[in-house]
Amino acid sequence: MISTEQLSHRIGVASGRQKADIVLKNGNVVDIFCHRIIKCDVAITDGIIVGLGQYDGIKNVDCTNKYIMPSFFDTHLHFESSMSTPDKYLMQAVAKGVTTLNADPHEIANVCGKEGIDYMIQCVKSSPVDVHFMLPSCVPATPFEHGNANFTAKDIKEMFATGKFFGLAEMMNYPGVIFADKEVLEKVATADICDGHAPQVSGNQLNAYLATGIRSDHECETVDEVLEKVSKGMYVMIREGSQTKNLTTLIGAINDFTKRRLMFCTDDRYIGEVVESGTIQNCVVKSVEKGIDIYDALTIASLNAYECYDIKNKGAISVNYSADIIVADDIVPRNILQVYKDGKLVAENGKALYTPNKADDSKVTDTVRIKPLAASRLVPEFTPGKTPVMQILKDTVVTKTIYPDTTDGLNMCAVIERHNATGNIGTCWVRGFNLKNGAIAQTVGHDSHNITVLGDNAEDMVKAVNALGTKGGMSLVVNGNVEYVFQLDIAGLMSSKDTVTVIEEHRILEEKTKALQINKDIAPFMLLSFLSLIVIPEIKITDRGLFDVNNFRFFKSIDDK
């Protein structure tokens, strides 16, 4: 509750009778409400914008020929997918203009349970960014795989009552919602805010999903899908991550009628790409390059998101709005010069201006436990024209089911349970990687994060799996030799090393992977991590076997065509 003394002081500053804490002088203010530029000063007091006009401050910052615009809101992401810990990720994200984000820690939750989430919360405590942790709703994502944690509806209610969470994270078990599973509905009823995950859900099934109050979706693949979901009251997140690049396809959904119901998100974006081109900054720049009006792009990047989540007075350079501000050298923010959070300078010239705390990681390391592995267990069965095979596609994690007559051009793939050494292994054939003369393996496998391995021979696949050790990460075997291991010591998902080292080690891995002649149109390790995500159509693999996502069941047999 603001005091009358504070209000009086703000009025004094706004009227020009008193000095502001800080004034951004002579800038080009981007007015997203009226779609225009206002040449004026921006007066800030108590972290709030109190005036647009001519002002004097205790501190004055010259913004002549610079553009002042609202900072960005990344509406859905998983820190874990950056391969960097949250504290280090945020230092890069804030330098690229993000001051608010909704983070879903369900990746580490599947590996380390509640202790994993607590670790993530510890990581962000010293960051100036508003990190809204969403409580993972689906741990495990479905009952058709083996992870290392299980959050019941009772667990969800108890965890939400701690006050640590902003809302309920993406409800991936959309069949459970649509068919009114009591346990699922108890989870949805826990929080007023619940994010969605409803790929290709349409018609009455979409109506049923939305009738629960779920408000958003980030899984749209077509313009028609966006339009239906917007027309039925959803906010739709246009996603541009490392492997899931939906912006170019969905740009056609942005028009005068839909633009206030759209947001941007990254979902899964590697830390090297964050450093190179940002997250939501990347979405804004790409949108403008595709013909979207810059004012609309900035509205989608900021104001819409705050409105979606019922957060008032944020997302615009306007009076009585929070001073969450970007200063750039052009209205299209390719080069961000300064970032302010609540009126405080938190990043400048691409560098964060704060020092993060270090969280205790003792309970989230050495998480890989498997039984001794025989090469014979990694070879899938094959019957010409009858065996379902996973076909990968460009710029998406959606896959198709095919029934080829030969294994020519196919790779073997296996998912190996890695939490409790159960010995469970699921195998299948994959087309589209085109991997030759070796294997790749990793402990990143959405969402249960078992080991996923892919190769053209079982012996190299075994070597790639064993190279991961007890800490986990990503490994590469070429012609029988372990060429490289990129260690991800935090839950087998993230590296505890500094950002520069993480980027360099990942670069070496990617460079050495070229020896396997993998399809150049895919990000091999990022895509491999999604082959086990059985809440994305249409065919996926788990440690229990090959899964038919469209019918939400395992393929019954090799002849199940």
Grade residue 134 by pLDDT with cuts at 50, 70 and 90: very high
Tokens matching residue 489: 């010591």
CATH code: domain 4-69 is 2.30.40.10
Q: How many residues does the chain have?
A: 561
Nearest to 279 by CA among 237, 327, 341: 237
| pLDDT over 70 at 401, yes or no | yes
Cα separations in angstroms, 314 against 35, 168, 318, 428: 17, 22, 9, 48
Tokens matching residue 555: 């393929």
Domain segments of the chain: what residues?
4-69, 70-345, 375-554
Grade residue 561 by pLDDT with cuts at 50, 70 and 90: very low
C-alpha 109/C-alpha 156 separation (Å) is: 12
For residue 212, the tally of other CB atoms under 10 A from its CB is 17
> What's the burial of 402, exposed, middle or buried (CB within 10 Å: 0-12/13-18/19+)?
middle
| pLDDT for residue 552 | 86
| pLDDT for residue 84 | 97
Element (H, E) at 70: strand 67-70
C-alpha 279/C-alpha 236 separation (Å) is: 17
At a CB cut-off of 8 Å and minimum separation 6, what does 372 contact?
Answer: none
C-alpha 337/C-alpha 389 separation (Å) is: 49
**Structure confidence by residue, pLDDT tens digits, 458-481:** 999 999 999 999 999 999 999 999
> Is the model's pTM score more than 0.85?
yes
| pLDDT over 50 at 18, yes or no | yes
Which whole number is the average pLDDT over 408-428? 97
CB 515 within 8 A of CB 483: yes
Looking at every residue in the chain, the average pLDDT score rounds to 96
CB 541 within 8 A of CB 428: yes
Instruction: Tell me 223's DSSP state.
Output: H
At a CB cut-off of 8 Å and minimum separation 6, what does 168 contact?
Answer: 134, 135, 137, 156, 160, 187, 188, 190, 191, 193, 194, 195
Q: In the chain, pLDDT over 70 holds for what percent of residues?
A: 99
| pLDDT for residue 244 | 83
Q: Which fold has domain 70-345?
A: TIM Barrel (3.20.20)
Q: In the chain, pLDDT over 90 holds for what percent of residues?
A: 93
Are 4-69 and 70-345 the same fold in CATH? no
**Structure confidence by residue, pLDDT tens digits, 217-269:** 999 999 999 999 999 999 999 999 987 889 999 999 999 999 999 999 999 99
Which whole number is the average pLDDT over 47-72? 98
**Structure confidence by residue, pLDDT tens digits, 165-201:** 999 999 999 999 999 999 999 999 999 999 999 999 9
Which whole number is the average pLDDT over 9-23? 97
Place of tokens 């440690």: 543
| pLDDT over 60 at 558, yes or no | no
**Structure confidence by residue, pLDDT tens digits, 414-423:** 999 999 999 9
| pLDDT for residue 44 | 98
At a CB cut-off of 8 Å and minimum separation 6, what does 510 contact?
Answer: none
| pLDDT for residue 262 | 98
Beta strand 235-239 with 216-217: parallel, antiparallel or unpaired?
A: parallel
